[in-house]
């Protein structure tokens, strides 16, 4: 499967003529087993939040949520 972050960025660029914003909103837990929470904001203001053991995984989960909601659900 293609990287969901890249796929989301491409689809958002086509649909909104803008870019996604990603930011880390929380880092919890011990240094060797952190839980990192990130959010992805779309140009329309919609925000998707997800957590993971590292920043990459958290971003991928948030991007998958956005892709599912934007392109799988009826408008």
pLDDT of residue 6: 95
Domain count, the chain: 1
Task: Report the alpha-carbon distance of residue 28 to residue 44 in Å, rounded.
Answer: 29
2 vs 20 pLDDT, higher one: 20
Is this model's pTM higher than 0.75 or not? yes
* Burial class of residue 18 (count of CB atoms within 10 Å of its CB; 0-12, 13-18, 19+): exposed
Residue ranges making up the domain that contains 62: 4-72
Q: How far is 49 from 31, CA to CA, in rounded Å?
A: 21
Give the domain CATH number at 33. 3.30.160.20
Nearest CA to 16 among 4, 24, 26, 8?
8
**What does the pLDDT look like over 9-63, one tens digit per residue?**
999 999 999 999 999 999 999 999 999 999 999 999 999 999 999 999 999 999 9
């Amino acid at each position: 499967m293609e990287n969901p972050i890249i796929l989301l960025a491409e689809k958002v660029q086509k649909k909104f003529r803008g870019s996604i914003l990603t930011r880390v909103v929380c880092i919890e837990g011990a240094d060797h087993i952190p839980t990192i929470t990130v959010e992805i904001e779309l140009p329309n203001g919609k925000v998707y939040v997800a957590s993971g053991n590292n920043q990459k995984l958290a971003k991928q989960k948030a991007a998958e949520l956005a892709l599912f909601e934007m392109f799988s659900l009826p408008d």
